[in-house]
């Protein structure tokens, strides 16, 4: 990475960098708990609703073809999100667009809006009920630049801009395959980077030719890009 880009990455991600990365000597367990506690206080303070688990069978969607391939709703851990997005921005610190595949109640979109300087943030979600909750959460921060789109990831075509694509294990390998098939031209053209939390179907990404540029085996976090789009 050129020196200028490395500096830009450092400045852009330092404040968002989880305390776990700044306070290694305190031990990761303590640091993780502090991180979780800060996030819980933030959520309570603003009365944000990210809570609960909605089992796959109970997800309300009209996308019947993809329903069986979905994973249950559950909000991402803020610490995992911040680590994986920081690492993805290391690949290209100039990326200004963020896409969350399966945005649920909007935690990832809202947290990255709070922590990183993205110009555009899009969350796609196939449950209208969850989009409604995400929109209500967002209304507490009127200046946030987040669009929630009711869409099936299996059919979604990415916007023609370099993007950090985030997934918190939203669906199985079949939907991931469909998403990648529809968007390979985008990845070849724009060098977008995939940030994957609970990366169960990561082998699918390598089959499509993506290279793993970061992996945390313990926390199951990883980052991917296509090799021929190296900066």
The smaller minimum CB distance to ligand SAM, of residues 125 and 199, is found at 125
3-state secondary structure of 122: strand
β pairing state of 163-168 and 193-197: parallel
163 is a contact residue toward ligand SAM (CB under 6 A) = no
- Backbone dihedral region of 60: left (phi > 0), alpha (psi from -120 to 50 degrees) or beta? beta
- The burial class, CB within 10 Å (0-12 / 13-18 / 19+), for 19 is middle
73, 98, 116, 187: which one contacts ligand SAM (CB under 6 A)? 73
The smaller minimum CB distance to ligand SAM, of residues 5 and 177, is found at 177
Contact indicator for 108, 100 with CB cutoff of 8 Å: yes
The smaller minimum CB distance to ligand SAM, of residues 5 and 172, is found at 172
Q: How far is the CB of 228 from ligand SAM (least distance, A)?
A: 28
Phi, psi values for residue 55, rounded to 5°: -65, 155
Contact indicator for 116, 16 with CB cutoff of 8 Å: yes
Contact indicator for 92, 4 with CB cutoff of 8 Å: no
Residues numbered 20 to 59 that lie near ligand SAM (CB under 6 A) are 59
The smaller minimum CB distance to ligand SAM, of residues 98 and 224, is found at 98
Distance in angstroms (rounded) separating the CA atoms of residues 115 and 11:
12
Residues numbered 110 to 139 that lie near ligand SAM (CB under 6 A) are 124-127, 130
The residue behind tokens 């990845």 is: 187
Binding mask 164-183 for ligand SAM (x = CB under 6 A): ----xxxx---x--------
The smaller minimum CB distance to ligand SAM, of residues 5 and 49, is found at 49
Q: At 143, list the tokens.
A: 């200046």
The smaller minimum CB distance to ligand SAM, of residues 103 and 201, is found at 103
Residues numbered 80 to 109 that lie near ligand SAM (CB under 6 A) are 100, 102-104, 107-108
Q: Return residues touching ligand SAM (CB under 6 A).
A: 59, 66, 70-71, 73-76, 100, 102-104, 107-108, 124-127, 130, 152-154, 168-171, 175
């Amino acid at each position: 990475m050129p020196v200028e880009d490395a500096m830009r990455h450092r400045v852009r991600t330092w404040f968002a960098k989880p305390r776990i990365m700044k306070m290694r000597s305190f031990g990761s367990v303590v640091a993780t708990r502090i991180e979780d506690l800060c996030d819980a206080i933030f959520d309570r303070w603003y009365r944000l609703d990210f809570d609960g688990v909605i089992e796959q069978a109970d997800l309300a969607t009209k996308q019947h073809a993809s329903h069986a391939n979905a994973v249950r709703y559950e909000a991402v851990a803020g610490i995992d999100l911040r680590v994986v997005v920081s690492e993805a921005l290391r690949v290209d610190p100039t990326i200004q667009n963020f896409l969350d595949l399966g945005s649920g109640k909007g935690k990832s979109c809202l947290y990255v809006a709070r922590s990183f300087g993205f110009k555009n943030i899009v969350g796609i979600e196939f449950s209208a009920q969850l989009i409604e909750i995400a929109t209500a959460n967002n209304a507490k921060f009127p200046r946030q630049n987040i669009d929630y789109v009711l869409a099936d990831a299996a059919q979604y075509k990415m916007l023609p801009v370099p993007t950090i694509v985030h997934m918190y294990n939203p669906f199985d390998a079949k939907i991931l395959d469909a998403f990648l098939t529809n968007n390979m031209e985008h990845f070849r053209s724009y060098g977008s980077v995939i940030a994957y939390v609970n990366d169960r179907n990561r082998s699918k990404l390598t089959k499509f030719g993506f290279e793993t540029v970061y992996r945390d085996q313990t926390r199951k976090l990883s980052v991917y890009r296509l090799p021929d789009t190296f900066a």
